[in-house]
């Protein structure tokens, strides 16, 4: 019997991307709700109960509502793409490459919290160095990032693309989260193994999708006064060769004149770079990913595949 998959919120940006990625799959039975019935609570509850895996592509409150709808149903497995459960210890964190055994934990879990796009890059750079003993857990981390505007969902896509929109955004690039209280902070702190929250400065560029996440470091404040090669080696040892996360060789990164945030668009991969000049005391760690790929819909599909393999 084919696994039944229900995307709760399939008409939003993330849901549509997941639906597109699964289109034509004859090994899955895709359950659906017409867009006109998307607010029909009883129909949603039926689909949630019927599904083997439900992928929640909803705001936090909508995701919590869907979980409540399951009630005593102990069979439907859930992937939540909202921020509602990303630091919930009862949920597996859906970044399969994050650590040894994480893919297996996802495969066995009933509840999986899909990571945020910014945290995927930030955690991907920070956690390996904390585990290796190079980066102190209380280091004053700064995370700077730029995302394509699709990360803001349908509302921001309309604001950026429609000149006649009442809240049209004409800027080529803008900062937001200026209060430094972004909702991704607890996620980056928890899964980055940090004891203090990072300073996080997100921004949006006038491109549809793609992302760069930067973590600059003062090397002299790290444990053991490591060289850039030591930092790179710790990242490479953590992720190994192959897979969705690639640690780019130092010499390849050093030869790059610039980094394009759209480089990995329409893929489920992430590239990690270590930049700096030996003896100068600074390093800049950079993650490049598609905010709709490894940062959202692609990660959800990857987690679904792991859960099906471990069912």
The pLDDT tens digits of the residues spanning 139-154 come to 999 999 999 999 999 9
Query: If the chain, 311 residues long, is cut into consecutive pieces of 10 residues, what is the mean pLDDT of each piece?
Result: 94 92 93 84 92 96 94 89 96 97 96 97 98 98 97 94 96 94 93 97 97 97 95 97 92 97 97 92 97 95 94 53
Q: How does 160-197 read in b/e, with b if 16+ C-beta sit within 10 Å? A: beeeeeeeebeeeeeeebeeeebebbebbbbbbbbeeb
pLDDT of amino acid 200: 96
Sequence-distant (≥ 6) Cβ neighbours of residue 32 within 8 angstroms: 6, 7, 10, 47
pLDDT of amino acid 39: 80
pLDDT of amino acid 311: 53
Note the Cα 151 to chain centre separation in Å.
Answer: 11
Cβ burial, residue 224 (10 Å; 0-12/13-18/19+):
exposed
The pTM (predicted TM-score) of the whole model is 0.95
pLDDT of amino acid 242: 78
| CA nearest neighbour of 270 among 213, 191, 207, 229 | 213
pLDDT of amino acid 64: 95
Cβ burial, residue 34 (10 Å; 0-12/13-18/19+):
exposed
**Model pLDDT for residues 241-255, shown as the tens digit of each residue:** 878 999 999 999 999
Helix, strand, coil percent content, the chain, rounded in steps of 5: 35, 20, 45
CA atoms within 13 A on the CB side of 72: 0
Residues known to be catalytic: 117
From residue 94, alpha-carbon distances to 260, 297, 303 in Å are 26, 12, 6
């Amino acid at each position: 019997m084919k696994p039944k998959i229900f995307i709760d919120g399939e008409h939003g940006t993330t849901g549509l991307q997941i639906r597109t990625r699964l289109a034509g799959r004859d090994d899955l039975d895709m359950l659906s709700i017409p867009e006109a019935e998307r607010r029909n609570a009883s129909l949603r509850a039926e689909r949630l109960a019927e599904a083997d895996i439900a992928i929640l592509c909803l705001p936090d409150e909508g995701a919590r509502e869907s979980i409540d709808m399951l009630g005593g149903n102990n069979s439907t497995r859930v992937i939540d793409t909202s921020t509602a459960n990303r630091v919930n210890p009862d949920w597996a964190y859906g970044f399969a490459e994050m650590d040894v055994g994480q893919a297996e934990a996802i495969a066995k879990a009933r509840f999986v919290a899909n990571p945020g796009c910014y945290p995927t890059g930030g955690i991907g750079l920070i956690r390996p160095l904390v585990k290796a003993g190079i980066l102190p857990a209380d280091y004053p981390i700064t995370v700077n990032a730029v995302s394509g505007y699709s990360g803001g969902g349908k509302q921001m896509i309309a604001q950026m693309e429609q000149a006649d929109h009442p809240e049209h955004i004409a800027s080529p690039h803008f900062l937001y989260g200026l209060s430094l209280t972004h909702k991704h902070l607890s996620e980056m702190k928890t899964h980055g193994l940090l004891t203090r929250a990072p300073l996080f400065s997100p921004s949006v560029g006038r491109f549809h999708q793609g992302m760069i996440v930067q973590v600059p470091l003062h090397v002299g404040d790290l444990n053991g006064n490591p060289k850039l090669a030591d930092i790179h080696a710790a990242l490479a040892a953590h992720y190994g060769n192959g897979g969705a996360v690639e640690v780019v060789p130092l010499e390849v990164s050093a030869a790059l004149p610039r980094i394009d945030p759209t480089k990995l668009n329409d893929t489920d991969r992430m590239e990690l770079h270590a930049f700096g000049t030996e003896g100068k005391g600074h390093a800049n760690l950079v993650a490049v990913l598609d905010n709709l790929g490894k940062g959202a819909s692609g990660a959800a599909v990857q987690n679904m595949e792991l859960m099906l393999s471990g069912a």
